[in-house]
Amino acid sequence: MNKRLGYSLVMLLFFGYSYGQSQTIHATLTDTITQEGIPYASVLLSANKGVISNGDGQFTLHIKKTITEKDSLFISYMGYESKAIPLLHFKDSIIFLNQKAIALNSVMISNKHYTPEEIMDKVNENLSKNYPKTLTKKRIFFRQSNQQDMSKMNYTFVKSSIDALNKNLLDSLLQSIPKKDAHYTEILCDLYVNSELPKQKINLIKACELYDKDNEIGIDYMEKKFKKIIKENVKTNSYFKIKSGLFGTKIEEGKLFKSEKDTTDAEALKKALEAKKKRELARKTNFAKYKMKRMTKLFDELFFVKDSKLNFVLKSSRYDFTLEDFTYVGEDPVYILNFEPKWRADYKGKLYINADDFALVRVDYSNVKPIKSISILGISYKEHIDKGKLFFNKGEDEKYHLSYLEKETGGISGIRRPLKIIEKNKHVKGRRKQNELSLKLDFSITNLNKSELVIFDSEDITATSFDAFKEKNELLPTYLPAYDADFWKGHTIMAPNDAIKAFTVKK
């Protein structure tokens, strides 16, 4: 995951230094000894305002205000000496951090008799004190990545009564389906969060999507080709029986064919344009709402939320805890606890707990067994990956606020069963059965989804302010066929990883 110094020197470029003006900083945090990047380090301008380095130790920070002698960048990471760099004189694209020598302080000495279970009890007792439940407005950068791999795509051709619908055609159609696909979405927004109500609000500021449109074209081509053959060989008043093993369904006559609109009819054309306009508006609104719902779901899974599946705090009796070590975040001593499921629990991982106030400041977790597993009559689905990271920073209100969330899920879907499509027609004399296509399918698809959420700023707001804000959400994401570093110029985001940087549509 981490890259060497030489690679960082090639990839990174610092620019934008100018006294009295805004500036953009691109840099890599690097271990002085190992020369490796330091991932997930906190880079702050002030309490709870800043960014986090990505998995390679890289970060991008845009500073809009006028820089003065008093302004500094504060960098901290567990087990490393904290660093403050005056912004007025900042000009390095590589920032070296030294590993910190660990020594017991008075707090650790006085608390060292706590058992892991007692530490977890303290964490639970202090949840309401350490984590706020207030109305907030959060400036968020949200990145979603989806990787899809058609790992198996086999079929056995049994028979077809339609000459054009033969094995050669099916082979060519299947070739048009993309075997691998990647889709990235990035948004910058203000999220209005009401922790007491399911209703949240979003103000979308900027968004982009990176994907290969040709993959969609390939699927469209397959669909159009298939429909053309069906229309040329099947009666319009036919109905269809689709059978797979013991199961079957019926498509009523006429449902397979949709009549084309007569564009010479002015009234029909007007209605079609109005319908298109409504769909476009709905698409804009739904894009923002979908992203808001996804982010809200991530907030709902935080360990201090009732009924969260990350229940290693609220239902700690289901887990075994062991004290692994301790370290420092800045000057704050931190316990490191390992946890594993004892019974009826799904996760294992590490908890980093402030030894002064027993706040969880970092969580690393992963599932120990499939979250979902279904296999029935040749259809299977297994969600075998569910892991993530949570980071919290202490704000000026002495509460701990989420600063970074990472969640990765993955699953395998499969189908291995026969398929028959039978055309029947009750208007034809004699035998109703007209045509039949019979196959045996053996497909499997793997999906890997990753969400990264960075909170740059969080401020308390009143109920009046929350109610007064009206959502517009008329913004759609900009399509990018390749990664464009200039798209986010002037905005603070989480630096992209190497896969995103390298993404480009193959010509």
pLDDT of residue 47: 56
d(CA 413, CA 445): 5
Do 254 and 300 share a structural domain? yes
- Give the structural domain span for 417: 136-312+361-476
pLDDT of residue 245: 58
Do 497 and 394 share a structural domain? no
Report which residue type is found at 243.
Answer: K
pLDDT of residue 9: 27
Query: Of 26-30, 46-50, 59-63, 152-156, where does mean pLDDT reach its minimum?
Result: 46-50
Do 504 and 398 share a structural domain? no
Give residue-wise pLDDT tens across range 220-254: 555 666 667 666 776 677 766 766 654 556 666 55
Do 47 and 1 share a structural domain? yes
> Is residue 19 over pLDDT 60?
no
d(CA 320, CA 278): 54
**Could you tell me the CA-to-CA distances from 337 to 72, 124, 288, 402 in Å, in that order?**
33, 14, 38, 20
pLDDT confidence of 395, banded at 50, 70, 90? confident
Q: What are phi and psi of 120, to 5 degrees?
A: -65, -35
The answer to whether residue 290 sits within a structural domain is yes
Give residue-wise pLDDT tens across range 320-332: 999 988 888 777 8
Cβ proximity of 360 and 353 under 8 Å: yes
Q: What are phi and psi of 429, to 5 degrees?
A: -70, 145
Give residue-wise pLDDT tens across range 413-463: 888 878 777 777 777 777 777 777 787 878 888 889 999 999 988 888 998
Span 173-186, mean pLDDT?
A: 80
Span 147-175, mean pLDDT?
A: 77
pLDDT of residue 151: 80
217's CB contacts (< 8 A; 6+ apart) are none
Give residue-wise pLDDT tens across range 337-378: 999 998 788 899 999 999 999 999 999 999 998 888 887 767
Report which residue type is found at 394.
Answer: K
Q: How many structural domains compose the chain?
A: 2
Instruction: Please give the share of the chain, as a percent, with pLDDT higher than 90.
Output: 28
pLDDT confidence of 475, banded at 50, 70, 90? confident
Do 491 and 411 share a structural domain? no
Strand-pair partners of 25: 61
Query: Of 195-209, 268-282, 405-419, where does mean pLDDT reach its minimum?
Result: 268-282
Cα-only R_g, the chain: 28
482's CB contacts (< 8 A; 6+ apart) are 210, 503, 504, 505
Do 272 and 195 share a structural domain? yes
Span 200-208, mean pLDDT?
A: 93
Angle among Cα 198, 200, 203 to the nearest 5 degrees reads 170
Higher pLDDT, 442 or 262: 442
Count of all residues that appear for the chain in the document: 507
Share the mean pLDDT of the chain. 80
The answer to whether residue 120 sits within a structural domain is no
pLDDT confidence of 112, banded at 50, 70, 90? low
Span 176-197, mean pLDDT?
A: 84
CATH number of domain containing 70: 2.60.40.1120
pLDDT confidence of 191, banded at 50, 70, 90? very high
Do 49 and 84 share a structural domain? yes
The answer to whether residue 249 sits within a structural domain is yes
Do 184 and 146 share a structural domain? yes
pLDDT of residue 420: 79
Do 92 and 211 share a structural domain? no
Higher pLDDT, 178 or 357: 357
Burial of residue 415, with CB atoms counted within 10 A of its CB: 0-12 exposed, 13-18 middle, 19 or more buried: middle
The answer to whether residue 201 sits within a structural domain is yes
**Could you tell me the CA-to-CA distances from 376 to 242, 316, 379, 381 in Å, in that order?**
18, 34, 5, 9
Span 2-28, mean pLDDT?
A: 45
Element housing 276 (H / E): helix 266-300
Span 110-114, mean pLDDT?
A: 66
The answer to whether residue 124 sits within a structural domain is no
d(CA 296, CA 138): 12
The answer to whether residue 327 sits within a structural domain is no
Burial of residue 84, with CB atoms counted within 10 A of its CB: 0-12 exposed, 13-18 middle, 19 or more buried: exposed
Do 495 and 458 share a structural domain? no
Angle among Cα 258, 260, 261 to the nearest 5 degrees reads 130
Select from 207, 141, 15 the least CA-distant residue to 494.
141
d(CA 345, CA 272): 53
Span 479-487, mean pLDDT?
A: 89
Query: Of 111-120, 157-166, 451-460, where does mean pLDDT reach its minimum?
Result: 157-166
pLDDT of residue 415: 82
The answer to whether residue 340 sits within a structural domain is no
pLDDT of residue 111: 55
pLDDT of residue 416: 82
Do 494 and 465 share a structural domain? no
Do 455 and 370 share a structural domain? yes
pLDDT confidence of 20, banded at 50, 70, 90? very low
The answer to whether residue 121 sits within a structural domain is no
